[in-house]
A and B are shown apart, each in its own frame.
Chain A
Amino acid sequence: MNYVVVGSSAAGLSAIHAIRKLDPCGNITVVDEESRPAYSRVLLTHYIAGRVAERDLFLVEEAFYRSYGVRTLLGVRATGLDPGRRQLYLADGRVLDYDSLLVATGARAVVPSWSRTGGVTGLRTREDAVRIRNAALAGRRVVIVGGGPVGVKLACALLELGVTPTLLASSPRILSQVADREASLMLEQHLLRHGVRVRCGAEVGEVAAGPRGTEGVVLSDGSTVPCQLLVVCKGVEPRTELVAGHLAVRRGVLVDNGMRTSVPGVYAAGDVAESPDIWGEGTRVSAIWPHAVKQGKVAGTNMAGGRDLFPGVLPRNAMDVLGMPFVSMGLLHVPAAAGWRSVSRRRGNSYLRLVIRGESVVGAVLLGCPQLAGPIQAAIRKGGRGWEQLVPL
C-alpha cells in the first residue's frame, strides 16, 4: 500500500500513528510545504507570552518520521491531483502514486485587502509569532485586528510580556462567535481592567504608512490608532486549492463520518475538512485541535483498512483570559423558535449559560467555572438529556 499524507500537522501526524498501528509495512509518504517538522500553531500565542520556548513548539522530532518509517518530503508543495490515476503532483516536478491519500492541508489566515503592506502580519506561522514577539520586546506599539479567540489570546500574551495592546473588533462585542453577550461583556471588562484597549465596532479603513514604516491604522470612522505593527486575526479559511475541481468542496472539503471525500481513495481531515456535526443536521468546518487529532486518527484507521467513525463536529473553545477561564461549546445562538431557550446563572465572576432545545442541552458558555465543561460536553454528546442534575441553577 502507498499512503500519501499531505500536511504534517495535528491531523497528518495523528493519521500516521493510526496507519502504522494497523499496517506496519505500508509505504507512508508525508508532504508538507514547510521544511521543518510539524509545530503546534495553537502554542504560538503561548510562545509570544514566553511560556513556551521556540524548540518546544515542535510536535515531533526528525527522529519521529524515521522511527515510524515515514518518507518525508518537507519543504515541497503539492500542486496538483489526478484522482483517476491516483497521482499527486509536486512543485518540484515529482509525481507520487498513491493508493490512499489524506488531504490535511489545514487552513490559512484570512487576509483583508487593506493589509497587504509592510508592518502588517497575521498570526498563523512560527515566523509570524517570532516577528510579533520581537516587535513587542522592542517596545513597538501593537494593534490587533480581530476580536475572536486568537485576537484575545494574543492580547493576553502581549500583556503578559509587558506590552499593552489595542484590540479592534469589527463586531459590536468581542468573541461574538464563541460567547454570548453577557460573557463577551464580562471578558471585555476584564481585559479593560488589565489595561488592554478594546474598541468594538471598529472597521479598519487603511494602514497609515509614514517614512519609517507603519505609523497607524485608520478606521472607517476617520480616527487613527497609532501603531508600528498590525496583527490581523480575522480567522482562517480551509486550504482547498489543491483539490478544488476534483473533490466536492463547500467551505472545506466535504467528508463523511469516515473522513472519506467524494472521491474513492481520498480522505480529508483537520482544518481543511467540512464534516457532519454531532447532531447530524449539517456540515461544518471547525478548525480546532481536538477535531484535527480525532479526524486524523479516523482517516488513518480507515485508510489502512480498519473501521472508525468520527462522531461529528462539536465546535468548542477553551482559553485563559488573564486568569479567567473561559469555555464555550455547541450551539450558542437561541433562535426565536418554539422549543429553544437558555438558562443562566451568575455568581460574582462565575457565569454559566446553557442553550436548551426541547429537553436537551445543545450549547454552553462557562466563565470562571470551567470544571463543569467536561461533564456538560459529555451530556451534549449523549443527547443532552439530564442536564438539570449536572448544573444546580
Chain B
Amino acid sequence: MLSIGVDPARCTRCRRCEAVCEMTHGGDGQGGRSRVRIRDSGWPPISICRHCESAPCADACVSGAIRLDPVAGVVEIDVARCVGCWSCVMECPFAAIAMVDVAGQGARAYKCDGCREWGFPRCVAYCPTGALRAGAGAGEMSGRVRRQRAARVLPGRPTGGARA
C-alpha cells in the first residue's frame, strides 16, 4: 500500500516538493496546483495526503467521490462526482485536502494523487532531506498480492458512498 510519511524535523523549507508537485500536476508555477504544502507558521508544517488505509475522508464522502483504490493503495478523488461539500476537509487530520475552482462548477476537492502515472510520488523522490518518505508498504507488496487481497475484501466494487 502506498503510504506517505512526513518528518517535519528534517524539513528545511526548501519547497522543492511544492515546485515539483506543481509542475507534475500542470500548474502555472504559482503553486495553485501543488498538492503538498509547506507552512512557515501554523499547523501542520507539512500538509500532504497519507493515503490512509482506513480513510476518514472516504468514510465522510457523501457522493462516493473519494475512495481507496485497494490495488494501488491510493486514496483517489473522482472530481466529476465531487459536490464540494467540505465534508472531507472537515475530517482530514492532516489538512491535506484543499478545494480548487473547477471551471464552471465551483470548488471541488483536490489532494495528492500519489503520482500514479509516475509510479512513485515525485515530491518524495525530490525531497533532499528525507522529510517526505514513501513509507512502509510502497514496493513491499507485489501487485499480485495486492490484487488478491483486494479481491478478498471487495467481491464487487460499489459505485460509492458507504464502504467498509
Query: Are B83 and A297 touching (Cβ within 8 A)?
Result: no
Q: How far is the CB of B78 from chain A (nearest CB, A)?
A: 11
| Known contacts A42-B62, A290-B87, then 7 further A-B pairs from the complex at CB < 8 Å, ordered by chain A residue | A10-B161, A17-B158, A17-B162, A66-B156, A293-B162, A320-B107, A327-B89
Query: Are A290 and B83 touching (Cβ within 8 A)?
Result: no
**A residues within 8 A CB of B84?**
51, 320
Q: Total interface residues on B, using CB and 8 Å?
A: 40
Instruction: Tell me, yes or no, whether B31 is within 8 Å of chain A by CB.
Output: no
Residue of A10, A296, A373, A389 touching B90 (CB-CB under 8 A)? A373
Instruction: Tell me, yes or no, whether A289 is within 8 Å of chain B by CB.
Output: yes
Instruction: Tell me, yes or no, whether A319 is within 8 Å of chain B by CB.
Output: yes
Q: Mark A261-283, 1 if CB is under 8 A from B, else 0.
A: 00000000000000000000000
Instruction: Tell me, yes or no, whether B79 is within 8 Å of chain A by CB.
Output: no
Residue of B43, B59, B60, B158 touching A390 (CB-CB under 8 A)? B43
- Within residues 28 to 48 of chain A, which ones have a CB less than 8 A from any CB in chain B? 38, 40, 42-43, 46
Residue of B153, B155, B160 touching A59 (CB-CB under 8 A)? B160
Q: How far is the CB of B112 from chain A (nearest CB, A)?
A: 14
Query: Are A300 and B164 touching (Cβ within 8 A)?
Result: yes
Instruction: Tell me, yes or no, whether A245 is within 8 Å of chain B by CB.
Output: no
- Within residues 3 to 25 of chain A, which ones have a CB less than 8 A from any CB in chain B? 9-14, 17-18, 20-21
Instruction: Tell me, yes or no, whether B114 is within 8 Å of chain A by CB.
Output: no
Q: List 11 A-B contacts (CB under 8 A).
A: A9-B162, A38-B162, A43-B62, A46-B63, A51-B105, A68-B156, A292-B162, A293-B59, A370-B86, A374-B91, A374-B92
A51 CA to B81 CA, complexed, in Å: 9
Query: Are A56 and B63 touching (Cβ within 8 A)?
Result: yes
Secondary structure call for the B interface = loop
Instruction: Tell me, yes or no, whether B120 is within 8 Å of chain A by CB.
Output: no
Q: How far is the CB of A67 from chain B (nearest CB, A)?
A: 3
CB-CB nearest in chain B for A67: B156
| Contacts known (A59-B162, A63-B156); A392 close to B85, Cβ less than 8 A | no
- Chain A interface size, under 10 / 10 to 19 / 20 to 34 / 35 or more: 35 or more
| Contacts known (A56-B81, A316-B90, A327-B90); A290 close to B59, Cβ less than 8 A | yes
CB-CB nearest in chain B for A379: B93
- Within residues 137 to 164 of chain B, which ones have a CB less than 8 A from any CB in chain A? 153, 155-156, 158-164
**A residues within 8 A CB of B56?**
290
Query: Are B161 and A40 touching (Cβ within 8 A)?
Result: yes
Instruction: Tell me, yes or no, whether A325 is within 8 Å of chain B by CB.
Output: yes
Q: Which of A61, A67, A325, A371 has the most CB of B within 10 A?
A: A371
Query: Are B90 and A377 touching (Cβ within 8 A)?
Result: yes
Query: Are B86 and A318 touching (Cβ within 8 A)?
Result: yes
Instruction: Tell me, yes or no, whether B26 is within 8 Å of chain A by CB.
Output: no
Q: How far is the CB of A298 from chain B (nearest CB, A)?
A: 10
- Within residues 51 to 68 of chain B, which ones have a CB less than 8 A from any CB in chain A? 56, 59-60, 62-64
Residue of A10, A61, A296, A374 touching B159 (CB-CB under 8 A)? A61
A296 CA to B162 CA, complexed, in Å: 9
**A residues within 8 A CB of B62?**
40, 42-43, 289
A300 CA to B163 CA, complexed, in Å: 12
Q: How far is the CB of B99 from chain A (nearest CB, A)?
A: 8
| Contacts known (A46-B63, A371-B95, A374-B94); A327 close to B161, Cβ less than 8 A | no
Query: Are B89 and A373 touching (Cβ within 8 A)?
Result: yes
The 6 A-B residue pairs whose C-beta atoms are closest, nearest first, are A67-B156, A17-B164, A59-B161, A378-B93, A13-B162, A42-B62
Q: How far is the CB of B67 from chain A (nearest CB, A)?
A: 12
Instruction: Tell me, yes or no, whether A201 is within 8 Å of chain B by CB.
Output: no
Instruction: Tell me, yes or no, whether A334 is within 8 Å of chain B by CB.
Output: no
| Contacts known (A46-B85, A294-B59, A390-B43); A374 close to B156, Cβ less than 8 A | no
Q: How far is the CB of B158 from chain A (nearest CB, A)?
A: 5
A292 CA to B59 CA, complexed, in Å: 9
**B residues within 8 A CB of A10?**
161-162
A207 CA to B28 CA, complexed, in Å: 56
